[in-house]
Structure 1
Amino acid sequence: MTSRRAQVPVDPVAVTLVRRTGLVATELLGAGRRGIKRAGRRPARSGDGLAALEADALALGYLLGPRLRARLAGLPADQLAVTGHGLLAVLAATVGADVPHVPLFRDFPRRVPADTHQRYVQRVFTLLCQEPQQPCVLCGLVGPVSAVSPCAHLVCPACWETERYSDCPLCHRRVDAGTPFRTVTGPAPAGTAAPTGTGLPMPRRAAVLEVADDVDGAVHRALGLLLARRTPLAPQDRADLLVLLDRAGTGSHWLPPEVPVRQTRALVLGWLAADPAYAARLPDLLARYADTATDLLRLLYVLHGTDPGLVDPPARRRSLPRRLRRTLLARLDALPLPALVEDLHRHRPAWLAMAENLHPFEQAARHPVAAAAFAVLRRTAVDPSTPLGRLLAGTAVAHPEVLSVWQGRLCRVSWGGRVETALRSGAVDAAVDLLARRPGELLRRTVTLAARTDDPRRLLATTAEAARSVSPGVLLAALGAVRAATWPAGTRLYFPRGGSARLWAEPDHRPRLLAALGGALDDLLAGELRRRAGKLPAVEVALLDAALADLVAPFTERTASTALVRLPRGSSQPLPTGRRVRLFLHWTEPADTQVDLDLSVAMSDDAGAFVGWCDYTRLRFADDAAVHSGDLTSAPPPLGASEFVDLDVPALRSRGIRYLTMVVCSYNDVPFDAMRDAFAGLMADAGHSGVPFVPKAVEQRFELTGRVRVATPLVVDLKAGVLRWVDATLGGTGGEHSVARYSRTLGRLTAAVDAYFAAGRRVGLWEVACWHAATRAGTVLVRRRDGTVSGYRRGDDEPEAAFVARLAALGPADPVPPEALPRPGFAAVIRGDLPVAPAAQVYALYRSGLDVDRVDLVEAADLVGALAPVARR
């Protein structure tokens, strides 16, 4: 990483540790850079520099912990300067303060035009009628009209108020340095600008930074958590994994016996395969970590520079070394033929493309199983007069349950086809028997089977057996589906698998399950998750936060945006205190491509009817209830472009508006992943700071990535006073993307999304935390929303399920004096501001006062992943 503010080189490991753990590797910050001594001046004292560093960190919303402060205080002044600049560069990039934020209207939000339409007419009239060396067409003055560079539009500074605009007032493109409209020519160096927001309270996401005493130990702990994660990694997690692997090196001490997630395995194997030192060990590694053909396909995607999620095919296939090709074919040949044939057909187009690199028929006699599987995939003709034809015919005879020769070609007998045939014919028991061979598929079809079965007892018994071996993510999805099908029908929300989380909502037409069967399935699935939680290390005291009910157990993290605060998709949090919130957007366009991103807000009522908007076509909504900073239509470096929208919460609420949906559109259809950088976020009320971007006020910042043109990251419910993190996109084709184009869709989707998640149709993190606490701890402390703490202990004759239900419902508490108890050894809280035991396992949405080097800090996905099948752990 290199900060654009100060061009400070920072080791990527240092960036990863600060962002993931809050630990500062001081020796890696500003690596390779020496302190600069100015001639004729004495170096500044370390005490002064440390005070300045603390002030700048506070202005970014971070505090220096005591051990970190002591470490920095012991550094020479020049080294402190280098380390401080590196740390500030990391923190600034984390909150979005590493770039200049220059909106179109300099005095935003004070002097934004009230009549957007009139201003548009003036712009068009000037563009059409203004001539060089002629009087201004608006005011008639002679002489002041001049051309703006690089767009060459003719502008009268008197009419277009040079002091109001930062760029061309006609086309809204960035202008070259030296023009009357340019006030900032480049990024300010980190730590040189006066900190803003010094009078503001610390943000909710504030964290205490501590020193990393053992950098390699911290790297291995972070790496171990990622490798042990039992849900697919988000894009930022995948990037962090590669950084940590580079630091860990090629030794095998960090490689665990099991990597549960197949996409993660592919990333690790791809990293190892690229190292010649592992060439001899690769067959053994594949035998250990690649037990299906799809695992090898994910590896091939990684080797071709593509995401192992198998969504986007490689842009360009690379030639594979012969030794690697033979190793991969040998591993395919060692797999059971039925599973191999099924796996190849599951991703048929991808394997057909990869076969051109693998050459499976080149040495068919050496890899007969692999050759037969690819022959089925290619629907190869069986010619008995050739060695390959005789080999294929013999393989078909040996495996009649999988292969057959039809019309002279090798064909397969599909397992999935048999399941669908059984369901269509009403043979539910036969379908259950088939699905029992694949427990994950059985759990995914639980609701369908339950709605059709005539033998609920048999289904319950088969489901119970299957549930013992599937991943916690599959169990949670099945549990949510059962509850949704048992409760009254509502909205069904889809997050289709793809390069981004595109939303689709429709009424839930699934048949309703009988309450008795739905309840039995609920008890079965939740009971299996409780049983797994009970096998985890026991603690004497656990601490929970009742506000965890606002968070959803994480799902589809593979497409999650890189965000400052890692809210699981669908979760909500109270709006920041204060009258106003400010949305922001920044992007920098690639070379030779003009990019126009637009920050907009769509407004709808309780029923989801679209009632208003604030964007480049309406800079002000209801006077100053919503104010837009102006539409910038280009974003060349070094400034890029920034847009803001100020939202007056009470004023909008008084207008009958219920929902505000943040929308980011690429007007000219350039996808986000084509940008040099693109991010957006939300700030709390910055008071009278006088600047558009106040780092200390930033509550959320997230990257805009992927082949996406329209993003809907968050929804504000003004009636409830909450912000719901949606992290989704809308599908769209063509250009001219805008709120107006998607107005009806946005209104309906906003109301549907809020109703879906508010109704609890996804399992919440509060319930997951209750499973952990109630089965692992003798005493459970709960911090309620009003700040009071209640205690819970399981009664001698109280069943475990009843205790979990009492705890989850915040039922009658027990007389437990919290002050007489030891500190909690497990905690799941919103704010990490309560004392916990050393080495306690802690999930905290906001780290607050946690000493991150003294606890086992985990993510929400880790709480879910810990509920993996006991036999596999």
Structure 2
Amino acid sequence: MPRALPVTFDVRVDLDLGSFLLRRRTAVAVDPADLLPAADPWSRRGLTALDADLADRGYLPTVELRAALARLAPLRLAELGGALLGRIDHLLGTDREHTPLFRRFPDAVPEVAQLNHSRRMRAFLRSQPHQPCARCGRRGAEVGIGLLAPCAHLLCPDCLDAQDGPPHCPSCGTALAVRPFLFGGRRKAVREQAPPRKGDKEPREPRGSVLRPLRLLNEDETTAALAELTGLLTRRTALNPQDRDDLAALLAHAPADLAALLPAEIPVRETKALALAELLRREGGSALPVLAERLTTATDVLRLLWAHSGAEPDLLPATARRLRLRNLPRPLRRGLLGVLDALPAASLAEDLRRHREPWLRVGELLHPFEHARRFPSAAAAFALLRGTDLDAATADPGLAEPPAPLRVERVRGRRRLAHTGFAARVESLLAVGDAPGALAELAHRPGELVRRLHHLLRVHEIMEPGAPPPAGLSAALARALPAVGPGPLLGAYGRLRGPRTAGERRLYFPRGLVSLAYGREDHGTVVPAALSAPVVAAIEAELLRRSAATLPVRPEVALLDEALTGMAVPFAERSASRALVSVPRGSTLPLPPGDRLRLFLHWVQPDHQRVDLDLSVALYDAGWNSRGRCDYTRLTFGRRAAVHSGDYVSAPPPKGASEFVDLDFAALEAAGARYAVMVVFSYNDVPFDRLPEAFTGFAGLDGTRPGGSPLSARAVRQRMDLTGDARVSVPLIVDLAERRFTWTDLNTTATSGYHSVARHGDTIAALCGDVLDHFAPDRRATLWDVACARAAHATGEVLVRGLDGTVRRWRREPAEPVGGFAERLRLRHAPDGPPVTGPLPELLAGRRAFLALLDADLPVPPGLHGELYRLHPGPLDAAPDALRRLAAGDLVATLAPAP
């Protein structure tokens, strides 16, 4: 179990910092107070069993971590090792089936563990030779990774030859035999052959076959937790559910002086609400000065009250209907009314009307008319919201003369406050075709201008077909774009740059607790390219400007992965599911290596309620015509092209139930299927959020499943929690022809139960077709666009690793504009010279770099520092702290406007 936090922390909720740091940093913390002066012999021998168990789960402890673990006492090693394995199993979703291999570890006979580890690692290296060296991180058949004799740890011959003194294992210190390798360790014949010719392609090892380095945390858990807390608070993009859970737990563990820890700016308003709610819970009314300083809009106050009442501060209608607001003491009510009263009357009235139902409930809590004379603007805004009869309230001087721009109108013989809001004015102007008038209104609000660019240009094209952009649009954009967040900016960029046709289907994602999508045909006027091109060019120039402004030091080299062209920019993160790998919705990625895939589903039903979940696969041809299914009604499809493990109709606690479907890609194609859609149904219509535990995912089938388990921890590639008030989930779409999958993470509407592919097949086909069209790379902004904008400012060179593993180089000429270079890089036009033939680590060694990769499958180059974005873990994760890790949201946040 994790050690207790220092006394400076106020622990109020259960936070397993070990699991937290394993998930976010792939690192393990070892308390220096537990370390012995030297390695314990019994712990060294017990570590062999831990090595084997970690390899079964796809992890390889680095030399530094192993050296620290060897200095633990045997009982402490058993405690830490058991907790580490349990955390990994829980992270991968295999803890429900896990049974320890060594029940008495580490007290069992160590020779038995050594024999088991040696056999397991030999079989592992024989079937998957592209493993990293535990010391230098290099990998590949040409490196000659081998198993050392007698300890069976992974090492390359170069690291063995570089040792001083008698040969020994750098991981455990064991003296090596005369023949130092049990298996492998010899240079392959490729080293003795002629050097490769220019232009020869170096094959890229399949993704997922490499052990993930498990690092030693180079700081104490408290410091790491505070660093993560600061990073989450200062992130400029919305947090996904997993990050929000982490933030809430870290805030609850923060030191007593929480106000001093809060950064000067918390960019995301929902994040700010969570932090201020924790501060309010701790300090009560004494937190009012901090609240008054940081609450800058009425909606900020509303989010704070929501978070203070234990709800997500997203202000969704479904949450509002169920939420019971927490009562506030009188001084705090007066303080919040004072915050509202200090806001401009026009913005206060608009913010209250934007969230009418929640504010009506908050009005019952704040009692604004009790202090109408002291806070007249707040009282007038609530009177406008409620439609208060002023004739009945004339005795209150606070409502007699409302602040401008509120005005008094007589409605049905009664005097009431009135105000025409910003949104109503813009909509009325666009409805009558007054694009210049709408532009004049929108110019005062940069975010709204960017969000409505497509609508504005469409109205302009209707009223003046073939005319140039509206007068003043260029100047308005020049003023507005520097102040707009990266989300609206990238959304408008993707919407306007792609080709559009009349009658095309559009996909809509309404705000909600679950991720729903609706498609419909759009018969509106198409915005011609000549009209949208200047706007797209202005947005591209702004993205390039921001990329340069947010670089503290320009990198000397950039390495990009062409596979990022299929990675969509994150959006609607608030409704994203918690997943093992945080893939943005709509991204298209390669399937795990091999010709087969295993889909899995596990759930546990509540006490005294039966829940029947069903894992199903719907099969379609290239035109989205049904080709069949594999579900509880049809356990096999074709000649065992898809095989279902069997239907469980209940999942009683504590073990629950699991279902599997195996897909054979070649056999499915032979049967006429192009797309295989994974679907999870709640047959008896119980929402997913009522289940104690429910998750789904997929795993590769490489023929290595220890102990005959149907789900190997090392084979798991993705795990996703089933959450929300939904009954039908569509996690992914498999393209059998391209050997790629699209991560959808969507739900469809469903009622009355008895759900199956036969009932929802047409709806699923329409949804999936719309998703693939909607997220086409030329119609949406991608992480490739963001990475190219950042890499274009590299002072040296940009290396691009293609889908086939070929590496090409782009250099910016001295007289070439940054915009032209970025465009050439984004379109992958005119590379400089032939493909790069040298090893990438040598090209990156000792340089400041910006890396944006799909897989961190490179060994750690010595002296590398800079920034790294990667989707899948790999040997590069063992890099020192000088290589700053970026999540997808962090990469997008580099395009945030200057504060």
Q: TM tier, shorter chain?
A: 0.7 to 0.9
Change in 2 beyond 3 A, CA 1:739/1:285 = farther
Which residue of the other structure, out of 337, 342, 346, is the alignment partner of 2:350? 342
1:781 aligns with 2:799: yes
Mapping for residues 708-787 of structure 1, pairs under 5 Å: 708-787=726-805
Code of the residue aligned with 1:651 in structure 2: it is A
Q: Does 1:19 align with 2:23?
A: yes
Match for residue 514 of structure 1 among 511, 528, 531: 528
Please give the alpha-carbon distance, in whole angstroms, between the structure 2 residues aligned to 1:48 and 1:559. 47
Contact 1:210–1:853 at 8 Å: present in 2 too? no
Is the Cα contact below 8 Å between 2:346 and 2:405 reproduced in 1?
Answer: no
Q: Which runs of 5+ in 1 are unaligned?
A: 3-8, 32-42, 101-186
Equivalent of residue 359 in structure 2, options 351, 357, 365: 351
Contact 2:372/2:399, CA 8 A, preserved across alignment = no
Q: 1:221 to 1:204 in 2, by over 3 A?
A: farther
1:485-504 to structure 2, matched below 5 A, reads 490-504=504-518
Select between 75-84 and 834-843 the one with higher mean Cα deviation: 834-843
- In structure 2, how many angstroms separate the alpha carbons of the residues matched to 1:226 and 1:741? 43
Pick from 541, 544, 553: which aligns with 2:557? Answer: 541
| Deviation for aligned residue 1:246 | 3.0
Distance 1:697 1:543 in 2: 28
C-alpha contact 1:567 1:725 (8 A) present in aligned 2: yes
Instruction: Give the SS at the match of 1:638.
Output: coil
Does residue 188 in structure 1 map to residue 204 in structure 2?
A: no
CA distance in 1, matches of 2:323, 2:342: 29
Residue 230 of structure 1 is matched in structure 2 by 236
CA shift digits 1:153-201 (9 cap, x unpaired): xxxxxxxxxxxxxxxxxxxxxxxxxxxxxxxxxx635864999997464
3-state DSSP of counterpart to 1:539 = coil
Conservation of the 8 A alpha-carbon contact between 1:539 and 1:825: yes
The answer as to 2:568 corresponding to 1:568 is no
Rounded Cα–Cα distance in structure 2 between residues aligned with 1:583 and 1:95 = 14
In the alignment, is the contact (CA less than 8 A) between 1:404 and 1:412 conserved in 2? no
TM-score (norm 2): 0.81
Relative to structure 1, the CA distance from residue 284 to residue 205 in structure 2 (aligned partners, 3 Å threshold; closer, same or farther) is: farther
Deviations 1:15-48 (A, max 9, x none): 111101112123499x9xxxxxxxxxxx992012
* Alpha-carbon distance in structure 1 between the residues aligned to 2:217 and 2:604: 33
Match of 2:44 in 1: 47
Query: Larger relative contact order (C-alpha < 8 A, sep ≥ 6)?
Result: 1
Q: Is the 8 A contact 1:57 1:63 kept in 2?
A: yes
Where does residue 652 of structure 2 map in the other structure?
Answer: 636
Whether the aligned pair in 2 keeps the contact of 1:583 and 1:646 (CA below 8 Å) is yes
The correspondence for 1:423, drawn from 422, 426, 430, is: 430
* 1:805 equivalent in structure 2: 823
Question: CA distance change for structure 1 residues 715 and 205 in 2, over 3 Å: closer, same or farther?
Answer: farther
The DSSP-based 3-state class of the residue aligned with 2:778 is: coil
The offset of 1:481, in angstroms, is 1.4
Please tell me whether the aligned partners of residues 625 and 651 of structure 1 are also in contact (alpha carbons under 8 angstroms): yes
The answer as to 2:87 corresponding to 1:86 is: no
Partners of 1:224 and 1:191 in 2: CA distance: 40
User: CA 1:597–1:369 in structure 2 vs 1: closer, same or farther (change >3 Å)?
Assistant: same
- Verify: 1:860 aligned to 2:888, yes or no: yes
Q: Map residues 53-92 of structure 1 onto 2, 5 A cutoff.
A: 53-92=50-89
| 1:120 corresponds to | none
**Offset from partner CA, 1:570-629 (integer Å, 9 cap, x none):** 111111122210000001111221111111111111111222111111111113111111
In 1, Cα distance between the equivalents of 2:210 and 2:345? 52
Report deviation, 1:852: 5.3
Secondary structure, counterpart of 2:82 in structure 1 = helix
1:243 alignment partner in structure 2:
249
Q: What's the TM-score once normalised by structure 1's chain length?
A: 0.83
Q: Are the aligned partners of 2:59 and 2:214 in contact in 1 as well (CA < 8 Å)? A: yes
The letter of the residue matching 1:645 is: V
Q: Which amino acid is the alignment partner of residue 859 of structure 1?
A: A
2:716 alignment counterpart: 698
Deviation of 1:323 after TM superposition, in Å, equals 3.1
1:371 counterpart residue number: 379
Distance 1:552 1:191 in 2: 44
Between 350-359 and 831-840, the greater mean CA deviation after superposition: 831-840
Q: Is the 1:338–1:402 contact (alpha carbons within 8 Å) kept by the matching residues of 2?
A: no
The residue type equivalent to 2:637 in the other structure is F
Code of the residue aligned with 1:801 in structure 2: it is: G
Structure 1 residue corresponding to 2:452, chosen from 442, 445, 448: 445
CA contact (8 A) 2:408 2:415 kept: no
Aligned mates of 1:607, 1:676 — CA distance in 2:
39
1:212-611 → structure 2 map (5 Å cutoff): 212-214=217-219, 215-251=221-257, 252-276=259-283, 279-280=285-286, 282-311=287-316, 312-313=319-320, 314-383=322-391, 386-388=394-396, 390-395=397-402, 398-400=403-405, 404=409, 406=411, 407-453=414-460, 454=464, 455-484=469-498, 490-537=504-551, 538-611=554-627
Contact kept in structure 1, 2:502 and 2:524, CA below 8 Å: no
Distance in 1, Cα, partners of 2:14 & 2:360: 43
CA 191–644 in structure 1, closer or farther in 2 if over 3 Å, else same:
farther
- Secondary structure of 2:267's aligned partner: coil
One-letter code aligned to 2:77: L
Q: 1:319 to 1:28 in 2, by over 3 A?
A: farther
| 2:137 aligned partner | none
- State how far apart, in whole Å, the 1-side matches of 2:231 and 2:672 are: 46
Q: 1:434, CA displacement in angstroms?
A: 0.8
Q: Distance in 2 between matches of 1:713 and 1:379?
A: 46
In the alignment, the residues of structure 2 paired with residue 867 and residue 677 of structure 1 have an alpha-carbon distance, to the nearest angstrom, of: 37
Alpha-carbon offset, residue 696 of structure 1: 1.0
| Alignment partners' CA distance in 1, 2:408 and 2:449 | 24
Decide whether the 8 Å contact of 1:402 with 1:413 is kept in 2.
Answer: no
Residues in 2 aligned to 1:759 and 1:853: alpha-carbon distance in whole angstroms:
34
Q: Deviations over 1:673-720 (max 9, x none)?
A: 111111110010142633311111101111111111110010000011
**C-alpha separation in 2, matches of 1:204 and 1:492:** 39
Task: Quote the Cα distance in structure 2 between the aligned partners of 1:624 and 1:356.
Answer: 63
Whole-Å separation in 2 of the counterparts to 1:752 and 1:409: 47
Residue 502 of structure 1: how far off its partner (Å) = 0.6
Higher mean C-alpha deviation, range 597-606 or range 457-466 = 457-466
Give 1:188's aligned amino acid.
T
Residues 247 and 853 of structure 1, relative CA distance in 2, 3 Å threshold: farther
Q: Give the root-mean-square deviation of aligned CA atoms.
A: 2.6
- Given that 1:841 and 1:856 are in contact with CA atoms closer than 8 Å, whether structure 2 keeps it comes out as yes
Take 1:550 and 1:402, find their aligned partners in 2: how far apart are those partners?
Answer: 53
User: In 1, Cα distance between the equivalents of 2:560 and 2:223?
Assistant: 29
Distance 2:14 2:399 in 1: 57
Distance 1:705 1:271 in 2: 25
Change (3 A) 1:76 1:430: same
Kindly provide the CA deviation profile for residues 347-387 of structure 1, in whole angstroms up to 9, marking residues without a partner as x. Answer: 00111112222222222222221111111111111137643
> What does residue 679 of structure 1 align with?
695
Deviation sequence 1:542-597 (CA, Å, 0-9, x none): 22111111211111111111111111111111111222100000011112211111
Native 8 Å contact 1:341 1:373 kept in 2: yes
Cα distance between partner residues in 2 of 1:293 and 1:190: 58
> Is contact 1:658-1:718 (8 Å) kept?
yes
Corresponding residue number in structure 2 for 1:851: 878
Q: Deviations over 1:778-813 (max 9, x none)?
A: 321222223232222211221111100111122222
Question: How much identity, in percent, do the aligned residues show?
Answer: 43
Distance 2:684 2:332 in 1: 43
After TM superposition, the structure 1 stretch with the greater mean CA deviation from structure 2, 263-272 or 286-295, is 286-295
Is the partner of 2:261 in helix, strand or coil? Answer: coil
Shift of 1:321: 2.7
1:418 is aligned with what amino acid?
Answer: R
